[in-house]
Amino acid sequence: MRYHGHQFRTYNPDLGDGRGFLFAQLLDNRGRLMDLGTKGSGTTPWSRAGDGRLTLKGAVREILATEMLEALGLDTSRTFSVIETGEDLDRGDEPSPTRSAVLVRLNHSHIRYGSFQRQAWLKDETAMSRLVAYALEHFVTDADGPSPAARLLDHAVTTSARLAAQFMAAGFVHGVLNTDNINITGESFDYGPWRFTPSWDPIFTAAYFDHHGLYSFGRQPEAMQWNAYQLAGALRLIAPLEDLKPPLETWPARYQASLTTALFQRLGVTPRDPESDTALVRAIEAALVGSAVNPDRFFFDWRAGTRRAPSPADRIYETEPFTAFHSAIQPYAGAAPTHEYWSDSAPVTMLIDEVEALWTPIAETDDWRPLHNKIAQIRRMGEAMAS
């Protein structure tokens, strides 16, 4: 399905259809619609100048991103399969020729904000109304609003705020939060130059071509809110502005509530009361911004609100940035987690050097064992996070 979108806030009506096909739909065990869609399946009727292929390294990177984010509890697409196609590709950002692949992903939807933007650009009210009705029927159960477009936007505000908060709690930088890379269900997908931040650095940027840091770690909430406004702009084709303004005005509050939920889930603590919860969130952010501790290490060491010892970060935890955190976390301290993962010496991480180290044996000797071992470690962490 073709779509348009804002790429780094410049509108582009010539994006094609994402070099992929939606070739099957099914219902999950909760009765929700699921898509099986391809990425890198070659040229399509609406392809642009490229070959439409995905590099094998890009597919491996998407496996790692989706496995890690799923384990951390994010709303994300899943990598269903990767099929190597045997072609040689030339890419400016990889040593070439490089191996090619088709990736099949599992998503609740592949309908993007840019899908609605295309209908607005075409001024096709009938198609827009049908697209909104389809999305409401299949993906929206708890949204409010005086019109179908307003209900869809209310849903999008909730899911985009939640995803932005989940990115922050995970220490994850998507890299390319264009409107064509945001889907209506609020699931993260279309992973390109993603990275996990080694420290809680607001200006940390994943994409080498993001020269101004538009999608840096700390600006991701801003980007997601901006995208929600662009969706609202598209929906004005079939709804008056007064229907669409109320949900947009609630975006900051929904984000803050979602951030509390995401941080508490990552830390493994239970909310208490709004005042204490807000104080703890602020203390966590201040401690992480003011120190060089790795976010994965921090959340691992303080799981369930109780500090593990010993830790390589022990000295950092005694520095001034953690003063407020020590006070704020005390009422939340609970029983030590029981899953054996929490007794490991270090958390599972996915920094860029690890990604490259996993790709090297595949590229050089077609050895996939390190990748499979890493996936097993990630899934074990996911079991611990869920327990």
DSSP-based three-state secondary structure for 124: coil
Question: Which tokens is 86 given?
Answer: 């045997």
Contact at 8 Å (CB) between 174 and 194? yes
Confidence of residue 340 (pLDDT cuts 50, 70, 90): very high
Query: Any idea where the domains of the chain sit in the sequence?
Result: 5-255, 275-336, 353-386
- Per-residue pLDDT for 48 more than 80? no
Q: Give yes or no: 93 in active site.
A: no
* Strand 33-39 to 98-107 pairing: antiparallel
φ, ψ for residue 68, nearest 5 deg: -65, -45
Contact at 8 Å (CB) between 48 and 16? yes
Contact at 8 Å (CB) between 200 and 285? yes
Q: What is the pLDDT of residue 49?
A: 61
Based on its alpha-carbon atoms, the radius of gyration of the chain, rounded to whole angstroms, reads 21
Question: Which tokens is 367 given?
Answer: 């050895």
* Strand 172-173 to 98-107 pairing: unpaired
Of 180, 190, 296, 301, which residue is the catalytic one?
180
pLDDT, one tens digit per residue, over 252-297 is: 999 999 999 999 999 999 999 999 999 999 999 999 999 999 999 9
How far is it, in rounded angstroms, from Cα 217 to Cα 239?
A: 33
- The more confidently predicted of residues 346 and 387 is 346
Spatial neighbors of 100 by CB under 8 A, at least 6 apart, are 40, 53, 54, 55, 56, 84, 85, 86, 87, 88, 89
Instruction: Tell me the H-state helices in 171-250.
Output: 220-235, 241-249
How far is it, in rounded angstroms, from Cα 226 to Cα 245?
A: 13
Return the amino acid letter for 96: S
pLDDT, one tens digit per residue, over 358-386 is: 999 999 999 999 999 999 999 999 999 99
Mean pLDDT of 191-215: 97
Contact at 8 Å (CB) between 187 and 156? no
